[in-house]
Structure formats: structure tokens, C-alpha cells
Amino acid sequence: MLRPGAVTARIGGVKQELLGFNGSWPGPELRARQGDEMRIRVENGLQDGALVHWHGLRVPNRMDGVNVLTQDVIPPGRSFDYRFDLPDAGTYWYHSHYISYDQVSRGLFGPLIIDERQKPDVDRDITVQLFDMLVDADGVYDEDTGPEQFTAAGRLGNVAMALASSDGVTVGERVRLRLINPSIDRVYDLRIDGLDGRIVALDGMPLEAPRAAPGIVLAPGQRCDLIGDVTGDIVFRDADAPDLGRIASSGQRPRRATAIPALVPNPMPRPNGREARATVVMQGGAGGSAHAGFGTWALNDVSGLPRKPLLNVRRGTTARITLRNDTAFDHVMHLHGHHFRELSADGAPGDYRDGTLVGAGEARDILCVLDNPGDWMLHCHMLSHQADGMATWLRVG
Ligand code: C2O
Ligand code: CU
């Protein structure tokens, strides 16, 4: 069971009232095994509505946790039973999908780890959530949400943390680090000291071959799995912030002689020949163009969920979607219920992802086999931008 509700937590040394699940801030790590069925009752202990979205999991549409498109908001005191199969292994997370810029920023999120049927050979498996929070002069969660929060780069925190599931490692041991960015708006440009490692998966999906990791860009919602050998204290640094946190090292054991292993790929759908095309133009924000609808941000001239879907296709259709950023800010576009491939400028298919970062003034094509029937959201995962209109949806029949 997951019970969202009020919790007391200590952030930056200051005790305060926030939100969490099952009395814990943030929510507890949920773990299951690939191929299993997940059954989870969400019992709403908030004074407000609740919804839980299983970010990155390819679940049936009515289990996706999105109001308007897939289910009604769970009222206070009521519950909803989520139930779905787990075809994919990897690093995922769950979070509130109701007034999420507010509820997630207060702590309604947690890791969701699906173990491989055959786990890679590592000594330790550590989850690290990179989270930031905006606090006032007293160090207490800042309730103020001025218009600037929504119109520019979002609400960036002034307290940064690396919430790790382990506080110690041994030099020489092989560890798997599962990085998750549940921050509402912040993009990290990470450097990791103390680990001689490689990237083995992005957004839960294994890479064909482990890849060197000089720097890791992690936008809101994105995940990155690394496997590596510990060489000292593991320190997480952001290009434009001081240390985010560290995992202390001690002792010494001999390093493995084996190379970093690749993970077993997840079963991905294949194109069936039917194709569709669409373009999403990101608009608005400070200094941006005008458009219809309620908010600052727009996609294809509409702010907020449009009445008609961006695409309405039959199951199995391969969609090529151009994401064009005509704004002065970066955006990370997240698609529900599927993973897509990023395409390089020459059209070559790259990594599988469920969120892709498109820089200001840039464009990227993605390719997705839409094999999961239902109505699926496609939105900016900078949650302040989503709240202010940057969302659309796809219908798969
Ligand atoms: Cu992580 Cu629409 O959400
Ligand atoms: Cu955005």
C-alpha cells in the first residue's frame, strides 16, 4: 500500500511539514521483479486529491494515473487499486500526477526499481535521487509561487541533495548506481568522483554497450544507471552548484578483473510498417510568442491539453515526431506509456528514452512504436512548465 499524507522531515537541518508516502519523506523505494505483476493500493491520506503515475513503466492506460485522460482524481480518504504487469526491468520512479509541481516539490515521489530476472554481478545496488527544494530565510519550504516560477527556467531550489539508499561503500567493490532526477525543474550536469564506471542504461532501458561517462546530463524525470568500481568517496557534483552529496568509502578489497557488463535488453516493440508523422512546436515563456489557452507555455499554439490529440493512430503505428523548441528555455519532453528512440540529425536511431531534453532553439526527432492502446500524455517534465500549459496527448486505438 502507498498512503500519501503529511510527514515531518528534516531538510537542511530544519524540521518541517512536508508530504510523503507511508510516513516517509520522500516515499519508500518500491521494488519488484521483471515479469511479475504489481498490485498497489493508493489510499489518499492528503487533504487534497491524489494520483500516482508510474514514470517510465509501460502500464495499461487506465493504470497510468493521469486525471482527465485515464482516471478521476482520488478524493481524500478514498483509495484506488493499481495493478499492472512488469515487462521491463530497470530504474523507474513514481510520483504524484495531480498538481504535481506542488505535490512533487513537497515530497510525493519515490524510486521504483524493477530487478532483472538475471541481475548483473555487482556488490551493491544504490539508488540516488537528485532533488532540490526552495526554502525561505528560515530554511522552511517556500510556499510562494510567483509568476517567474512558471515563465522562465522554473522553480529552482536553493537546497540540493543526493538522497542515496546507502551511506557507505568499500574501495574496490563494484556498484550499480541508479540516478533519478525527481526535481521539478532542475537539469543536472553531473560529475561523479570516486567511481571508475560506465553508463549501462538510460531511463531504465539498457544501452547496447556500456558507455563512458565524463559528464551526465539529467533532466527532470530522467534516470541513468552506472556500473563501476569504487576508487574513493563517491561525490556527486553539479556543474553550477557545490557538492550535491557523497557516499563515504572505507576499507579496501581487490577490484574485479572483468569488464563492466551490459544489461539484458528489455522486449521492445517492432515497427509494423504503418507510419505517422507529427510536429510539436514549443512556444511561449518569458519573451516568447502569444497563443491561445490558459498559460504561459504552449505546444502548437495551444496552452493546456488540447481537445484533439496530437496524433490519433492505430495500435502498432510507428510515429516520427519532430520536437521543435522555439522558446528561450530548455524543455524535457516526456511521453507516457512508451519508450521512444532519439534520432540523430541524419536520422539514425539512438537511445531509448521516455524523456528527451531539447535545448532552447533546438529540435530533435523521436521515433516511437505506439503499441500501447489508450490516451497518453506528452508533456514537458519541468513541472512548472507542465502546470502552465506545456502538455498535449496522443490517442492509440
Ligand atoms: Cu513523470 Cu506525466 O510524468
Ligand atoms: Cu519546459
Q: pLDDT tens for residues 133-149? A: 999 999 999 998 888 88
- Determine whether the shortest distance from the Cβ of 223 to ligand 1 is under 6 A: no
- Determine whether the shortest distance from the Cβ of 111 to ligand 1 is under 6 A: no
- How many angstroms is it from 185 CA to the middle of ligand 1? 12
- Determine whether the shortest distance from the Cβ of 334 to ligand 1 is under 6 A: yes
Which amino acid type is present at position 117? Answer: R
Give the strand pairing for 355-358 and 331-335.
antiparallel
Confidence band for 54, pLDDT divided at 50, 70 and 90: very high
| Confidence (pLDDT) at 296 | 92
CA distance 301 to 284: 9
From 11-15, 51-55, 59-63, 228-232, the region with the lowest mean pLDDT: 11-15
- How many angstroms is it from 93 CA to the middle of ligand 1? 10
Average pLDDT over residues 332-350: 96
pLDDT at residue 25 is higher than 80:
yes
| Confidence (pLDDT) at 66 | 98
| Confidence (pLDDT) at 242 | 73
pLDDT at residue 240 is higher than 90:
no
φ, ψ of residue 102 in degrees (nearest 5): -90, -50
- Determine whether the shortest distance from the Cβ of 53 to ligand 1 is under 6 A: yes
Q: Which residues in the chain are classed under CATH 2.60.40.420?
A: 4-115, 124-250, 275-396
| Confidence (pLDDT) at 79 | 98
If DSSP states are collapsed to H, E and C, what string results for the chain?
Answer: CECEEEEEEEECCEEEEEEEECCECCCCCEEEECCCEEEEEEECCCCCCECEEEECCCCCHHHCCCECCCECCECCCCEEEEEEECCCCEEEEEEECCCHHHHCCCCCEEEEEEECCCCCCCCEEEEEEEEEECECCCCCECCCCCHHHHHCCCCCCCEEEEEECCCEEECCCEEEEEEECCCCCCCEEEEEEEEEEEEEEECCEEEEEEEECCCEEECCCCEEEEEEEEEEEEEEEECCEEEEEEEEEECCCCCCCCCCCCCCCCCCCCCCCCEEEEEEEEEECCCCCCCEECCCEEECCEECCCCCCCEEECCCEEEEEEEEECCCCCEEEEECCCCEEEECCCCCEEEEECEEEECCCCEEEEEEEECCCEEEEEEECCHHHHHCCCEEEEEEC
Average pLDDT over residues 268-282: 93
Confidence band for 287, pLDDT divided at 50, 70 and 90: confident
Confidence band for 121, pLDDT divided at 50, 70 and 90: very high
Q: Which fold has domain 275-396?
A: Immunoglobulin-like (2.60.40)
Residue with the nearest Cα to atom 3 of ligand 1? Answer: 55
| Confidence (pLDDT) at 199 | 98
Average pLDDT over residues 245-250: 97
- Determine whether the shortest distance from the Cβ of 55 to ligand 1 is under 6 A: yes
- Which ligand places an atom closest to the C-alpha of 383? 2
CA distance 107 to 179: 17
Which atom of ligand 1 sits closest to the CA of residue 56?
1
Nine cell digits for residue 367: 521515433
CATH architecture observed for domain 4-115: Sandwich (2.60)
- How many angstroms is it from 333 CA to the middle of ligand 2? 7
Confidence band for 259, pLDDT divided at 50, 70 and 90: very high
- Determine whether the shortest distance from the Cβ of 338 to ligand 1 is under 6 A: no
| Confidence (pLDDT) at 325 | 98
Nine cell digits for residue 151: 515563465
Average pLDDT over residues 252-277: 94
Average pLDDT over residues 37-47: 98
- Which ligand places an atom closest to the C-alpha of 56? 1
In contact, 32 and 89? CB cutoff 8 Å = no
User: What is the overall mean pLDDT for the chain?
Assistant: 96
* Residues near 265 by beta carbon (within 8 Å), at least 6 away in sequence: 205, 206, 208
- Determine whether the shortest distance from the Cβ of 95 to ligand 1 is under 6 A: yes
Q: For residue 337, with 0-12 CB atoms within 10 Å meaning exposed, 13-18 middle and 19 or more buried, which class applies?
A: buried
Confidence band for 178, pLDDT divided at 50, 70 and 90: very high
From 125-129, 150-154, 285-289, the region with the lowest mean pLDDT: 285-289
From 187-201, 220-234, 288-302, the region with the lowest mean pLDDT: 288-302
Confidence band for 82, pLDDT divided at 50, 70 and 90: very high
| Confidence (pLDDT) at 146 | 82
pLDDT at residue 291 is higher than 80:
no
Q: Residues 101-116: pLDDT tens digits?
A: 999 999 999 999 999 9
| Confidence (pLDDT) at 352 | 98
| Confidence (pLDDT) at 149 | 85
Confidence band for 262, pLDDT divided at 50, 70 and 90: very high
Q: Is the ipTM of this complex over 0.85?
A: yes
CATH for 124-250? 2.60.40.420
Confidence band for 241, pLDDT divided at 50, 70 and 90: confident
- Determine whether the shortest distance from the Cβ of 364 to ligand 1 is under 6 A: no
pLDDT at residue 164 is higher than 80:
yes
Number of Cβ within a 10 Å radius of residue 23: 13
Residue with the nearest Cα to atom 1 of ligand 1? Answer: 55
| Confidence (pLDDT) at 272 | 82
pLDDT at residue 295 is higher than 90:
no
